[in-house]
A and B are shown apart, each in its own frame.
Chain A
Amino acid sequence: MSAVPVDAVHEGLFTTGATPHLLGSRCGACGAHDFPAHDTCPYCSSEDVTGVALSSTGRLWAWTAVTSAPPGYRGEVPYGFGVVELPEGIRVVTRLTEPDPARLASGQLMTCVVVTLHTDDDGRRIVTYAFAPDAS
Chain B
Amino acid sequence: MTTVEVAGTGLAPFGRFDGLRATDMGVIAVRGALTEAGVGRGGFQAAFCATAYGGVASGHKVLGALGMTGMPIVDVEAGCASGAAAVMLAASAIAAGQYDTVVVFGVEKMPKGIIRSSFFDPWQEAAGLAATPSYFALRAQRLMETSGVTKEHLAAVVVKNRRNGVDNPDAMFRAAVDAASVLASRVVCEPLHLWMLCSPNEGAACVVLRAAGSTSGSGVATTERASVPKITVAAAVLRSHLPGAVLSESTPLSGLVDDAVTPPSTLAADAAYEKAGLGPGDLDVVECQDTDAARELLAYEELRLCPAGGAAAMLERGESAPGGRLPVNPSGGLLSKGEPLGASALGQVVELVRQLQGRAGARQVPGARVGLAHTVGRGANAGVIILTS
- What is the interface of chain A, defined by CB distance below 8 A to chain B? 9-10, 24, 32-36, 42-43, 62-68, 70-75, 79, 81-83, 85, 89-93, 95, 101, 106, 117-118, 126, 128
B321 within 8 A of A: no
User: Which of A72, A79, A92 sits near B125, CB closer than 8 Å?
Assistant: A72
Point out the residues of chain B lying under 8 angstroms from A101, CB to CB. 190
Q: Are A117 and B126 in contact (CB under 8 A)?
A: yes
A79 to B127, CA, bound (A): 11
Ranked 5 nearest A-B pairs via Cβ: A72-B125, A70-B131, A10-B123, A71-B116, A35-B254
Q: Are A70 and B189 in contact (CB under 8 A)?
A: no
**Besides the contacts A71-B116, A73-B130, A106-B145, what 19 more A-B pairs have beta carbons closer than 8 Å?**
A9-B123, A9-B127, A32-B256, A33-B254, A42-B252, A43-B243, A64-B189, A64-B192, A70-B114, A72-B130, A73-B126, A73-B127, A83-B138, A85-B257, A89-B257, A95-B127, A117-B127, A118-B126, A128-B127
Given contacts A90-B256, A93-B253, contact A43 B126 (CB under 8 A): no
Q: Are B257 and A91 in contact (CB under 8 A)?
A: yes
Q: Are B127 and A64 in contact (CB under 8 A)?
A: no
A65 to B354, CA, bound (A): 41
A126 to B128, CA, bound (A): 12
- What is the interface of chain B, defined by CB distance below 8 A to chain A? 113-116, 120-123, 125-134, 137-138, 141-142, 145, 186-192, 243-244, 246-247, 252-257
Q: Which of the listed residues A71, A95, A117 has the most CB atoms from chain B within 10 Å of its own CB?
A: A71
A90 to B243, CA, bound (A): 12
Q: Are A83 and B247 in contact (CB under 8 A)?
A: yes
Point out the residues of chain A lying under 8 angstroms from B126, CB to CB. 9, 72-74, 117-118, 126, 128
Distance in angstroms from A53 CB to nearest chain B CB is 14
Given contacts A35-B254, A64-B190, contact A43 B247 (CB under 8 A): no
Point out the residues of chain A lying under 8 angstroms from B123, CB to CB. 9-10
A90 to B125, CA, bound (A): 23
Distance in angstroms from A87 CB to nearest chain B CB is 9
Q: Are A62 and B131 in contact (CB under 8 A)?
A: no
Given contacts A71-B114, A73-B130, A75-B128, contact A92 B253 (CB under 8 A): yes
Given contacts A9-B126, A72-B122, contact A93 B116 (CB under 8 A): no
Given contacts A10-B123, A73-B128, A79-B128, contact A64 B138 (CB under 8 A): yes
Q: Are A70 and B190 in contact (CB under 8 A)?
A: no
User: What is the number of contacts between chain A and chain B, taking CB atoms within 8 Å?
Assistant: 117
User: Which of A67, A74, A85, A91 sits near B188, CB closer than 8 Å?
Assistant: A67
Q: Are A90 and B127 in contact (CB under 8 A)?
A: no
A68 to B191, CA, bound (A): 15
Which B-chain residue is minimally distant from A92 (CB atoms)? B254
Q: Are B253 and A35 in contact (CB under 8 A)?
A: yes
A75 to B131, CA, bound (A): 13
Q: Are B128 and A93 in contact (CB under 8 A)?
A: no
Q: Are A95 and B129 in contact (CB under 8 A)?
A: yes
Q: Are B127 and A66 in contact (CB under 8 A)?
A: no
Point out the residues of chain B lying under 8 angstroms from A74, CB to CB. 126
Distance in angstroms from B202 CB to nearest chain A CB is 19
Q: Which of the listed residues B122, B123, B189, B254 has the most CB atoms from chain A within 10 Å of its own CB?
A: B254
A88 to B256, CA, bound (A): 9
A71 to B252, CA, bound (A): 18
Q: Which of the listed residues A32, A65, A82, A93 has the most CB atoms from chain B within 10 Å of its own CB?
A: A93
Distance in angstroms from B188 CB to nearest chain A CB is 6
Point out the residues of chain B lying under 8 angstroms from A34, CB to CB. 254
Which A-chain residue is minimally distant from B245 (CB atoms)? A91
Q: Which of the listed residues A10, A62, A68, A117 has the most CB atoms from chain B within 10 Å of its own CB?
A: A62
A36 to B253, CA, bound (A): 7
Given contacts A73-B125, A91-B246, contact A64 B253 (CB under 8 A): no
Q: Are A93 and B246 in contact (CB under 8 A)?
A: yes
Which A-chain residue is minimally distant from B128 (CB atoms)? A73
Interchain residue pairs with CB less than 8 A apart (11): A36-B254, A63-B138, A68-B188, A70-B125, A70-B134, A71-B115, A71-B125, A90-B257, A91-B256, A93-B253, A95-B128
Distance in angstroms from B328 CB to nearest chain A CB is 25
Point out the residues of chain A lying under 8 angstroms from B134, CB to CB. 64, 66, 70, 81
A81 to B116, CA, bound (A): 18
A20 to B192, CA, bound (A): 32
Q: Are B244 and A43 in contact (CB under 8 A)?
A: yes
